[in-house]
Amino acid sequence: MNSEVKQNEPWYRGVTRYQWLVLAIASVGWVFDVYEGQIFNLTRNQMLSDILGSDGGDVKKYGDMFLGIFLLGGTVGGLAAGSLADRIGRRPIMIATILMYSVFSGLTYFASELWHVATLRFLVAMGVGGEWAVAASLVAEVFPVRARAHASGIFHASSVLGTWMAALAGMAVGAHWQYAYLIGIIPAFLVLWVRVSVREPDKWKTKAAQAKDSPRSVQLGSFKDLLLNPAWRGRAFLGMGLAAVGLGTFWAVTVAGQDLARQLLLQEGAGVESAAHKSKFAYGIVQTAGGGLGLLAFGPLCAKFGRRRTFLVFQLLAFLFVPVTCFGPQSYQQLLWVLPVFGFLTLGMHAGFAIYFPELFPTHLRATGTSFCFNGGRILAVPVLFFSGWLKGQEGLNFGVAVSSLGLLFLVGAVLILFMPETKGQDLPE
């Protein structure tokens, strides 16, 4: 960035063409990451009904169980990719993870048994979990301090496009869910763009050279250094807990917007197919629009008020608004007015993971630490998913009560952020 850029000028003033290019490539990869995750959420009722031959409680049970498997796969792939990205470079690991989630998404077209779905969702998640950590680290390392929160927030906010793509694909294919997974092959072509355009950040090349000259002084991608060094250990575990709250509430609470809409539509007398179609629109388009605004707002709010304060306010407001969403609207039309706010508060904080986690760790551990926080959080979120599936499947228990109970997790996130450091305006650790 031009050294003459003044602090009171717009954050984007002086950002170079290459920096914009990196942001664009990282965002496109993340868009399809999210598509791969959301397309299952939007098609799972049709998929599992076809495989199980029913649309009863087993569909919900296996749906949340497969989401848990997805989180496990993201953990395994994410931890491996984060460490490898610190060891051998950001670009080759980004390429490998994109290819992985693209290929196995396409193969889901042929899934006809429960074990097919479980295996393929695990493998897709390995690629998805790995790509995010590498891309988040790359954006943080390329952009300067004054633009980093905004750029990282935009990177994560691009997830909205992935959700919209999934919603449109889900509505377009209807009961023919298999075709939605063929679209997941498209990002394989992104690999060519990555190979031609992306170069390793100077910060990483410097650390890699130091590690080559003095292997004992700099341990690239070392989980031992990350978890045993007191300078980074606390940040890693607290970050993992914060991510677990975000991921657990996303899959257990945020995505429940679709089910809330579906229930209201069925109560109003809508047919099963019509309710499925309109509930996809309510969640995938309307709620996600509000979520996208929350994601875009999180970066500027972090830049102005700090990371900790912004996380804290979002967590507390999300906790308060979940029961409002579950019990306030008495019709589908009323719910459409509430869902954007619900999305803004419950989804918006996720942009903070891309902003905050890379700022917590030094260059030789940045992708490893970022991945440990975000993807390690998936491990802690898995029990939430299994508990969520069990709770929502209980006969006689109001669905809104179940979702509101799961919303108590936002209070855990509010407590965790109080013990974490503020990184506003600071250079990345070296």
Higher-confidence residue of 273 and 82: namely 82
Cα gap 91→93, rounded to integer Å = 6
Range 414-418 average pLDDT = 98
Q: Are 59 and 48 in contact (CB under 8 A)?
A: yes
Lowest mean pLDDT among 132-136, 223-227, 378-382: 378-382
- Residue 356: what pLDDT? 97
Apex 230 CA angle, 228 and 236, nearest 5: 75
- Residue 2: what pLDDT? 45
> Has residue 1 got a pLDDT over 50?
no
Range 74-79 average pLDDT = 89
Tokens 């390793």, residue? 200
Q: Are 194 and 95 in contact (CB under 8 A)?
A: yes
pLDDT band at 307 (very low <50, low <70, confident <90, very high): very high
> Rounded to the nearest 5°, which phi and psi values hold at 100?
-65, -50
In the CATH scheme, what architecture does the domain 22-194+219-417 have?
Up-down Bundle (1.20)
Cα gap 79→140, rounded to integer Å = 18
Range 352-371 average pLDDT = 95
Cα gap 198→216, rounded to integer Å = 29
Domains of the chain, by residue range, sit at: 22-194+219-417
Q: Where are the alpha helices (DSSP H) in 229-287?
A: 230-249, 256-267, 272-281
pLDDT band at 378 (very low <50, low <70, confident <90, very high): confident
pLDDT band at 385 (very low <50, low <70, confident <90, very high): confident
> Has residue 250 got a pLDDT over 70?
yes
- Residue 70: what pLDDT? 85
> Has residue 403 got a pLDDT over 90?
yes
% of the chain exceeding 70 in pLDDT: 97
Q: Are 369 and 235 in contact (CB under 8 A)?
A: yes
> Has residue 391 got a pLDDT over 80?
yes
Range 205-222 average pLDDT = 84
> Has residue 7 got a pLDDT over 50?
yes
Mean pLDDT of the chain: 90
